[in-house]
A = this chain, B = another copy of it.
Amino acid sequence: MTIIINRNCSTPIYLQIKNQIQQRILSGELSDDYVLLSERNLAKQLKVDRSTVVKAYMELKADGLVESFVGKGTVVLPQLTKDMEFDKIYTPKIHWNQMINQDTDLEHHDLIAKIMEATQYRKIISFAGGIPASNTYPIEIFKNIQNQCMDKYKEKLFMPTSIYGCMELRNSIKNHLESRGINAATKEIMITSGSQQGIYYFAKLFIEAGDVVLMEEPTYLGAIEIFKAAKGKVIGVPIDKEGIKTDVLENLLLRYRPKFIYLQSSFQNPSGVTLSMKRRKELLKLAYFYQIPILEDDGYGEINFSENRLPSLKALDKSDYVVYLGTFSKALSLGMRIGWVAANEFIINKFSKFKQITDFHSNTMTQYMLSEFLNGGYYQQHIKKIIEEYKSKRDLMCTEILKYKVDGLQFSIPEGGYFLWCKLPENVRLTILMNQAIKEGVMFMPPDPFYCNGSIGDTYIRLNYTYPTREEIKKGVKALMEAIKKSRITTYAEGKSRTNDRNPII
């Protein structure tokens, strides 16, 4: 086997070696079981470094042309021919990553996945998640409802529902929405596998590559992910205590031609802020004026600790501009994967086509059970129970945090929802804090995923008070405050922070 190296050629030497051997194998010049020179000997013969030959042989192996066997050396493999017997053929390794649609790489925060995994273990206390407390699930009630459903609906529980969802649940949700001021006909309600699926379908329906979507900032990270995966250009609108800043929103509506506005109108994730009545009306007026649809995600609206009950945008909207997403995930159970869309028939029909090609319909048995749960008045009772529970946990977390008097740590007390959104003291560096917190045995959500294009600064953390137990809240807050104190950059003057920074509640 003579190999000629051209040192003036721009092709690397290892590749020249590889290419020449490959050509001879493919041309049949080197047949099955032909033993190549050892790497050492070939290197000597060619006057190249041994590592060059090693690299050439590695490439040949990767291409399925040769294989090394102990005691035999590197031999030419039988080349695949279709006439060969199935059991004897050598099959090249498939290169999946070269075959896939390269457009599907998501700019992806693996945080949700990691947090969901972490909830399965209890080694460190998690303030990072966003699921209901374990002790709130109405296990006994569902046990009874299941047994009743089995007797009442029998085989229906195992059969497909309509693509729009089971009629019983759609009717129950219709009545439920009515009690909340939303008038939607049953045909304007469709069941989805969580409101996540509703956001996905909306993105699929509206966003073409480059389209602008406006959303609050910070906002639900899953929505950002979906809109970016759909190749939307996501632009954040800042919020204050009254929610999305409508003056800035108008500037952005004028500057861009957004396809729609996405927002969580009540106790939004992560800030806990609720859109004020004044802003709700301003927002709708802007939507009407500029003819921009609104996607209202209302997962937290019912978890309301205050006496103040604001109507949803959908309830205020008399002109069908609002597409409303509801869910059982936050008030009852995320594991059920049942949410709904309330919208005009045009949207519902478009969504139903997506439902048909993606998963036909959502789990039948759970739909029937939820319908019974709503109709039996259990849902209303459940909401009362969790409001009491979560309010007391919110109070506990706030009290505990205040106990440690961490200079410069600020938060507003949310009037509902799941989260405390805490501004860190200026002299705390987030990256240090994250490592320190894990060491102390507590986990939280960093701010970046909640911003459309990264954080405006490493200053906020999101703390969930619904999932951890009271004991965990106490221990976790202690650990976290300890971690914050330890994450201070000491070169900063201690007394630097301004007076109002000393009041931890703003």
Contacts and interface: CB of A to CB of B under 8 A. Distances in A.
Interface of A: 80-82, 84, 86, 89, 91-97, 99-104, 106, 108, 112-113, 116-117, 119-120, 131-132, 134-135, 137, 139, 142-143, 146-147, 150, 154-155, 157-163, 193-194, 196-197, 200, 204-208, 222, 225-226, 229, 250, 259-260, 281, 284-286, 288-289, 291, 293, 318-321, 332-337, 344, 346-347, 350, 352-354, 356-366
Contacts of A197: 358-359
Contacts of A360: 116, 194, 196, 334, 337
- Oligomer copy total: 2
B158 A147 contact: no
Nearest to A358: B200
Contacts of A154: 137, 139
B131 A346 contact: no
Contact of A104 (B134, B205, B344): B205
Contacts of A334: 158-160, 360
A128 to B, nearest CB: 13
A137 B132 CA distance: 33
Contacts of A288: 80, 89, 91-92
B291 A92 contact: yes
A162 B196 contact: no
B86 A356 contact: no
Contacts of A208: 101-103
A284 B112 CA distance: 38
A235 to B, nearest CB: 18
Contacts of A225: 356-357
A468 to B, nearest CB: 14
A158 B333 contact: yes
B106 A357 contact: yes
Contact of A100 (B101, B159, B206, B363): B206
B362 A99 contact: no
A142 B158 CA distance: 10
22 contacts: A82-B286, A91-B288, A94-B319, A99-B293, A101-B208, A113-B163, A113-B356, A134-B155, A137-B158, A142-B150, A143-B150, A146-B146, A196-B358, A200-B357, A200-B359, A225-B357, A229-B357, A335-B363, A336-B363, A336-B365, A337-B364, A359-B359
Contacts of A142: 150, 158
Contacts of A204: 101, 104
B155 A135 contact: yes
A143 to B, nearest CB: 5
Nearest to A199: B357
Contact of A93 (B131, B319, B336, B354): B319
A346 B97 contact: yes
Contacts of A146: 143, 146-147, 150
A499 B353 CA distance: 46
A340 to B, nearest CB: 14
Contacts of A358: 193, 196-197, 200, 358
Contacts of A226: 357
A337 B361 contact: yes
Given A81-B289, A137-B155, 11 more contacts: A82-B250, A92-B291, A93-B319, A96-B346, A97-B346, A103-B208, A116-B162, A132-B158, A158-B333, A229-B357, A358-B358
A434 to B, nearest CB: 22
A304 to B, nearest CB: 22
Nearest to A278: B86
Contacts of A116: 160, 162-163, 360-361
Nearest to A364: B335
Contacts of A150: 139, 142-143, 146
A206 B99 contact: yes
A325 to B, nearest CB: 13
A86 B281 contact: yes
A337 B165 CA distance: 13
A267 B460 CA distance: 57
B364 A100 contact: no
Contacts of A193: 193, 358-359, 362
A145 to B, nearest CB: 10
A289 B200 contact: no
Contacts of A80: 285, 288-289
A24 B155 CA distance: 65
Contacts of A155: 134-135, 137, 139
A229 B82 CA distance: 34
B101 A206 contact: yes
Nearest to A362: B337
Contacts of A91: 288, 318-319, 321
A291 B99 CA distance: 10
A318 B91 CA distance: 8
